[in-house]
Structure 1
Amino acid sequence: MQSITAPHPISRRSLLGGLAASSALAMLHPFSARAAANQAHLRIMETTDLHVHVFPYDYYGDKPNDTVGLARTASIIDAIRAEATNSVLVDNGDFLQGNPMGDYIAYKRGMKEGDLHPIIAAMNVLGYDCGTLGNHEFNYGLDFMFNVLNGANFPIVCANLTRGALAANAREDALFLKPYVILDRKVKDGAGQEHAIRIGLIGFVPPQIMTWDAKNLEGKANARDIVKAAEAFVPQMREEGADIVVALSHSGIGQQDYAENLENASVPLAAIDGIDAIVTGHSHLDFPGPKFEGFAGVDNTKGLISGKPGVMGGFWGSHLGLIDLLLERDGTAWRVISSTSEARPIYRREEKKVIAQVGDKADVLAAAQKDHEATLAYVRTPVGKTSAPLYSYFALVADDPSVQIVSQAQIWYIRDMLKDTEHKDLPVLSAAAPFKAGGRGGADYYTDVPAGDIAIKNVADLYLYPNTVQAVVIDGDQVRNWLEMSAGIFNQVAPGSVDAELINAGFPSYNFDVIDGVTYEIDLTQPAKFDKDGNLVSAAATRIQNLQFDGKPIDPTQRFVVVTNNYRAGGGGNFPDIASDKVIFVAPDTNRDVIVRYIVEQGTINPSADANWKFVRLKDTSVVFDSSPKARQFLSQVKAVAIEDAGESAEGFARFRIKL
């Protein structure tokens, strides 16, 4: 591709002003407005990682959600098309699984030949030009996936999914789908003249599907390295007359240097000669955006990946990805002479409030209405039972059932995921934190699921955030420091104190990780080793006492797998030594989905806390903390610490006392 230089000076401010969506007459993009004769504006619109989110609805919380939904994204597509004289609409994969509607179709309604899946019905309304596969398309098996794909009114392409073993080279692979399509289209130039153009679209899926979905794919399919497949097929597309080649990369924006079978291969993929633009996804982020500042091979300001126009359109319909290309006709060939990229959101945040920026597209809602209503009935139906209540009223002061069940599910999941890897023999620990623990959320902001039937929507009470599972490998010393960081939630208490305030209100509860698989005590007389931002403030402090694994003092050099979420494993909370360089497993599944699967498999879960941590006893010392008045009914169930009612507190809270 030719180097990208703008033929007209366009400031980013004036450009974004011209790009603003409007329910009234759309303003032409500057490329359409200013294109000369023999120049044409081509807009590439992308959805990615929809995960069956047609409606703006949170099925776990059983309530509307203005941050998601293809029906919302769709409502701006017509206006966005009107901003450009020429456009194509593509989907970048992961549309088939990821919320309860997907599970309802797969596990309850089923897919017979000729059935139409609600996500495909919704996408057919919008007139997609092409799509590719994501890793979650395989979660329900190949037969299910192909039954769904048969209903699409647009081609689905994938250049690196093979039937069985890999051939000697990619061009000889027996593929399940076409590796690419070439669309024969007409484009209008700046003088209003129509010209023929051939737009090539090629798709890729992460080769890690062979690990993540081995039970569905082993012996039936294989996946070739993304870059190697592209190196084989992109020249072939050019040989067949593609003027412009766009890569549909269900792969994140990761490292610049090529390595075989990268999961996040979009930077080396974009560098391949012959690719003109790339739409990305998989990572559930938006590009251009602040998360990609400083990435090697990425120009976040210009929206370039390896010098090529690129975009990542968020997830669950949160954004519409846009790449605008200004093309120039040179003889009989087209070349890109300028570009802009944008991930256009469907909502904005004002402080903690979500403000919807668009409405729903009625015909998209109508396409999935029946299945939406059936899904609501599904999530409200029990999927298992809990033998004990799940509550977080005492999650900050004692081992807790709402955290316990998360760890049980995470350990169950990661052991299965790692059973055939080099890490299979390492001991597995789990880190989980209470998300609903009062504080600024108020006296009702606690998990409370009674014993008995448990429905899918109850999982939202257990796990608020749509995090994904990740695992790190660390040593015993790093496990200790992880716990030292967590213990920063407690104020230092002098021996002999009476009713000292226990909780540091400035320390967020979601950073109070409990690590299951070890036992330990917390000495409140010690100062915190780390502050709430992860800074070392007292190097000699040792709040964590009697830390044991398998009944023995932990070996500082022993290696452990610790399963957690993508936020923590990626450095969220600034825990010492915990960052992406320690990550050994990145799951394709959310923590919520893992909990649901665990409940379904177990039938009846036993979430009783095992009291693997407690406070060091202090003579004649007491501390107080606040919780909901509803906590009083569970006082007798708390193990390892004696809690008593200490009266009322401010703002609707109840006060409780622990005699250490």
Structure 2
Amino acid sequence: MAVTLTILSTSDTHGFVSPTNYVRRHAALPFGLTRAATVIKAVRQQDPDHTLVIENGDFLQGSPLAYYAVKGTGHFAPELLTQAYNAVGYDVGTLGNHEFNYGADYLAEALDTLNYPLAQANILHNDHAAFGEPYRIIEKAGIRIAVLGLTTNYIPHWESPDHIEGLTFADVLATAKHWVPILRQQADVVVVAYHGGFERDLATGRPTERQTGENVGYQLAQIPGIDALVTGHQHRQIADHLFGVPTTQPGYRGEMVGRIDLTITKKGGQWQVTDSAAKLLPTGEAVPDPAITALMAPVENTVEDWLDKPLGRVAGDMRITDPDDARIHESPYIEFIQRVQMAATQTDISGTALFNNEGAGFGETISLRDVMTNYIYPNTLAVLKLNGAVLKAALEKSAEYFMPGPQGTVAVNPHFIKPKPQRYNYDMYQGIDYTIDVAQPVGQRIVVLNYHGAPVQPKQELAVVVNQYRAVGGGNYAMFGADSIIRENQKDMTELIADYLRKHPVITAQADHNFHVINSTNQNTAED
């Protein structure tokens, strides 16, 4: 007797329920939870008794809708967002790293609104008490399925310490090695839902990133006893087998639904997995689920109106038409963000990033929509006390974003694009003058570094404002750390930008081009 168990998953939807990125009102783009829900429903209707649906984390943060649920009403209102997830019909979920971005109180309130159970094995209270249930056993037509929930244990390297106070993030691999043998005794099928990704190429085993422990999916798949591995975090599109284990990763914002099919055969009175398949189901052409669309219409309309609230005007041009050119030559938009950060923290050196290639900068009128679709993360700010040597090391780290291009040009290092885009890990600085020469060896590319017209000395002490993620070493900026933080501003950047615009309703677009990125083998080409 053989049956097919289907495991469907979403991951990293980041609160994008409707098929829009909110750049324009009511866009119809090829992603979103409502499209994913339609795909899930169609598959589940074929065999509801043998279909398991998993939500794999990073759902509470990322979209203007998600932000509105936290900030838009004057009080926490997570149900404005979670009602959509409740309508999908998930059997089980786990947590992603971004679930902690708005603090413990909001997370607790949001989790209380969910109608599906969570599995979370490697997040513990400091007294080793469980943060939640480590696993869930779900029965489908007499088949006992154990779902073990795991989340990247690298969260303390990114998250604001007060958001995770009292929590321990245990090693993912050690946790899995503890629980999987136990679950094999309790269940017919063991599924790992891991909000993390892969640290190595799935085909060759070669490292694809620094082996920090942020992603350990390649090692996780080698643990005996795992029948299926659902992953996320990296926003990659993966459907493959790794060491015989079917695995999926369904991209970003609901653009894909992961599907794993396990053929389960009963032998000697016990179910055994005898075959498996993994694939991704695109959602882009699916009609958005009518019921969820109708459910969410009132709040989505409110959010659209809220986003169109004007905040200020621009004198000049603050648009971004070529993101990488803005990273090489600076742009008025980036300089504006630096000015906001310096004003909010009373510092005169600031670092920030152009997080992705979707932001278009600001037109003549600045609305909340413009702010949130350009500055996409709920970052707070931290001021670091650094010496000149540490600042130079940080600049050298940022300089890794570039590489020498053909004919003496400046090109983008492909490691910042694949397997996961990491443009947010290239920082630009204001308040210092510096030059990056990509023709020089990595680690020796900062050929000019001045502060107030004089060379920065290695032991010279400086106060530098960056976002909290970077301040605690996020993005592998190991030269930074929480022990260097001398003060913080607990308002997130969306609020700080809005506050700045209220005080300065007309912003002059300007860029002083205090940094230069050159290829000294052909400097003129790089500077043109």
User: Fold-level match, TM-score > 0.5?
Assistant: yes
Distance 2:180 2:313 in 1: 53
Q: What whole-Å deviation, never above 9, does each CA across 1:281-308 have from its counterpart, x for those lacking one?
A: 11111113xxxxxxxxxxxxxx123431
Q: 1:398 to 1:180 in 2, by over 3 A?
A: closer
Q: Which region of structure 1 is more displaced relative to structure 2, 130-139 or 263-272?
A: 263-272
Residues 44 and 51 in structure 2, CA contact (< 8 A), matched pair in contact too: yes
The amino acid across from 2:281 in the alignment is R
Query: Structure 1 residue 271 and structure 2 residue 222: aligned?
Result: yes
RMSD: 4.9
User: Does 2:300 match 1:402?
Assistant: no
Contact kept? 2:16, 2:32, Cα under 8 Å: yes
Percent of paired sites with the same residue: 27
Distance 2:119 2:174 in 1: 16
Shift of 1:176: 2.6
1:376 pairs with one of 292, 301, 304: 304
Alignment of 1:147-546 (within 5 A): 147-163=109-125, 165-167=126-128, 174-186=129-141, 196-239=142-185, 241-255=186-200, 262-288=213-239, 303-347=240-284, 357-382=285-310, 385=312, 391-392=318-319, 400-407=331-338, 429-430=351-352, 432=354, 447-450=361-364, 454-459=366-371, 462=374, 474=393, 516-519=430-433
Q: Output the CA distance in 1 between the equivalents of 2:262 and 2:217.
A: 19
Stretch of structure 1 that moved more, 215-224 or 135-144: 215-224
Could you say which structure has the greater relative contact order, defined with CA pairs below 8 angstroms and 6 or more residues apart?
Answer: 2
Whether the 8 Å contact between 1:403 and 1:432 is mirrored in structure 2 is yes
Query: Do 1:226 and 1:261's aligned partners in 2 also have CA atoms closer than 8 Å?
Result: no
Residues paired across the two proteins, number: 457
Cα deviation code 1:403-424 (max 9, x no counterpart): 31245578999x9xxxxxxxxx
Is the CA contact 2:12–2:57 (under 8 Å) kept in the aligned structure 1?
A: yes
Shift of 1:518: 3.6
The 2-side partners of 1:89 and 1:279 are apart by: 11
Deviation at 1:378, TM superposition (A): 1.7
Residue 55, structure 1, aligned to residue 6, structure 2 = no
SS in 1 for 2:15: coil
What does 1:51-130 align with in structure 2 at a 5 Å threshold?
A: 51-82=14-45, 86-109=50-73, 117-130=79-92
- One-letter code of the match for 1:106? V
Q: Contact 1:92 / 1:134 at 8 angstroms: preserved in 2?
A: yes
In structure 2, the partner of 1:506 is none
- Alpha-carbon offset, residue 106 of structure 1: 1.0
Q: Say if 1:385 and 1:604, in contact at 8 Å, map to a contact too.
A: no
Distance in 1 (alpha carbons) for counterparts of 2:124 and 2:515: 53
Asked whether the equivalents of residues 407 and 431 of structure 1 are also in contact (C-alpha less than 8 Å), the reply is no
Q: Is the 8 A contact 1:235 1:274 kept in 2?
A: yes
Secondary structure of 2:178's aligned partner: helix
**SS of residue paired to 1:76:** helix
Distance 2:216 2:64 in 1: 29
3-state DSSP class of the match of 2:87? helix
Measure, in 1, the Cα distance between the counterparts of 2:342 and 2:223.
40
Separation in structure 1 between the aligned mates of residue 218 and residue 309 of structure 2, nearest angstrom: 44
The residue number in structure 1 matching 2:487 is: none
- Compared CA separation, residues 447 and 599, structure 1 to 2 (3 A): closer
Structure 2 runs not aligned, ≥5 long: 381-389, 411-423, 470-474, 482-490, 517-523
> Which AA in structure 2 matches 1:96?
L
> Unpaired segments of 5 or more residues in structure 1?
1-37, 168-173, 187-195, 289-302, 348-356, 416-426, 437-444, 491-509, 523-528, 531-535, 567-579, 587-592, 616-622, 624-657
Query: TM-score, normalized by length of structure 2?
Result: 0.71
8 A contact 1:111–1:117 mirrored in 2:
no
